Structure 1
Amino acid sequence: MRPLPEHRLQHNALLQQALAEFETATKSCSAAIQHAIGLQLAREGDIRHAVDMFRIASAAGSAKAQYNLGVCYEQGRGVDRDLSKAAELYQQSAEQGHGRAQYNLATLYLHGGGGLQQDTHKALGLLQQAAAQGVQQAQSYLGVYWTMEPHRDMFTASQHFASAAQQKHESSQYHLGVCYERGWGVERDLTRAVELYMSAAAAGHTQAAHNLAVLQGGMYGVRGTCVCREGGVERDLTQAVDLYMSAAAAGHTQAAHNLAALQGGRYGVGGTCVWGRGCGEGPNSICGAVHVSCCCWPHTGSSSQPGCPTGR
């Protein structure tokens, strides 16, 4: 048999390539449709049939289906809970660049879950990838990570908090508010801190509500001049009381204490100045901000009252 001419061979090769690309596109389209059906079934509460569709789409290579099926195995929804299977599916999805799968896989590496060996370095790499894709939880986690010793870097932490805060992630709004209140990694700006606390508090963040109450006047002097107050924060004692009540009702003990002190007139009415303290292990704890800020005796307006430190 005579061999095919060169141009015929090239034509056949191109045809085979076109057929392969068509099959891949068809498979991908079919997987996307099956995944979409699975999502609709899940919304309707038919989790078991949703899992069936996720499984079919996952086998066809859908990163989204692999992620969602992994969530089902991690949470035991529609299937028996199996962290090892979840880790396997997250790995497949993460390798295709799925941000949420990267984040979930990172959490398993952090704690050695799903049969994976604990590996902080690998987890951080996955968190970086997820954060770069805008996954709020990854951005927030990295922010908190960089507040800790021995790798503490508040500039880097504030950048991660800012990325998540832009997406209205309330914990990151709170943490970024703390950074602006304390001047950690950013230029100190109490007005910006108030804005961030307000947004987080509106979303139900209790500690943000407490810190906002402090900054808006609850412990900055009920009457008279507060010499330790700065940054142009407008006092609003009515709102401060409301915020303290809300936080106290949610179980925030310091808010309950401050509310009682405020309603009892213990601050700025001839009492001793009380200096703020953080709620964590020390004055630089990221969870703290200021509980009680200095206020001075109203009849003097002096900055040298006992208990008032200088140069906050």
Structure 2
Amino acid sequence: MYLLGRLYDNGEGVRENPIRAFGYYQLAASHGFAQAQYVMGMTYLHGYYLEDKNDFKAQNYFRKSIKNGMPEPAAAYWLGFMYETGRGVEKDQKKALEMYRIAAKAGNKEALEKLKSLGEPITTN
């Protein structure tokens, strides 16, 4: 399902169709596929695929992606961003730093830069 979403998203072998891509991503996410949950989080955070922004749904999908193995470390980075800014969650610097650290340990460069900019110790092991 997720891969079908990617094909329609990128127009690979099929005519590009963002609405159909969204449907496949949504279906894969509902079956616990962590990469699709990350895509759904990004969809609602930024308003992709003709969906309105919805910070509550975004943070929910990012949490699910992290819980289901987080193949995309950016899920933790974006959840950290949401905690730092109070988008969709109660503003919480401690939880933001925790998420940034998780993302950094998983290799997310943005999280590493964020921790550095905040003067936080950086450990990636």
The answer, yes or no, to whether TM exceeds 0.5 is yes
Measured after TM superposition, the shift of residue 149 of structure 1 is 4.8
CA distance in 1, matches of 2:64, 2:42: 13
Q: Give the aligned partner of residue 84 of structure 1.
A: 19
Higher-Rg structure is 1
- Aligned with 1:162 (options 81, 87, 101): 101
CA distance in 2, matches of 1:102, 1:140: 14
Q: Give the aligned partner of residue 174 of structure 1.
A: 113
Q: Give the aligned partner of residue 76 of structure 2.
A: 139
Q: Within 5 Å, which residues of 2 pair with 1:1-312?
A: 66-132=1-67, 133-134=69-70, 135-149=72-86, 151-179=90-118, 181=119, 192-193=121-122
CA distance in 2, matches of 1:106, 1:169: 17
Unaligned runs of 5+ in 1: 1-65, 184-191, 197-312
Larger relative CO (CA 8 A, sep 6+): 1 or 2?
2
Measured after TM superposition, the shift of residue 152 of structure 1 is 3.1
TM-score w.r.t. length of structure 2: 0.81
CA distance in 2, matches of 1:145, 1:178: 17
Does the 8 A contact of 1:85 with 1:114 survive in 2? no
CA distance in 2, matches of 1:112, 1:152: 21
Does the 8 A contact of 2:59 with 2:82 survive in 1? no
1:177-220 per-residue CA deviation (whole Å, 9 max, x = no partner) reads 233x1x6xxxxxxxx35x67xxxxxxxxxxxxxxxxxxxxxxxx
Change beyond 3 A, Cα 1:149–1:108: closer
Q: Give the aligned partner of residue 4 of structure 1.
A: none
1:54-87 per-residue CA deviation (whole Å, 9 max, x = no partner) reads xxxxxxxxxxxx1111112112222222111011
Name the Cα RMSD after superposition.
Answer: 2.1
Q: Give the aligned partner of residue 37 of structure 1.
A: none
Change beyond 3 A, Cα 1:105–1:149: closer
> What percent of counterpart residues are identical?
24
3-state SS of paired residue (1:97) = coil
CA distance in 2, matches of 1:144, 1:124: 10
1 or 2, which has the higher helix percentage? 2
Unaligned runs of 5+ in 2: none
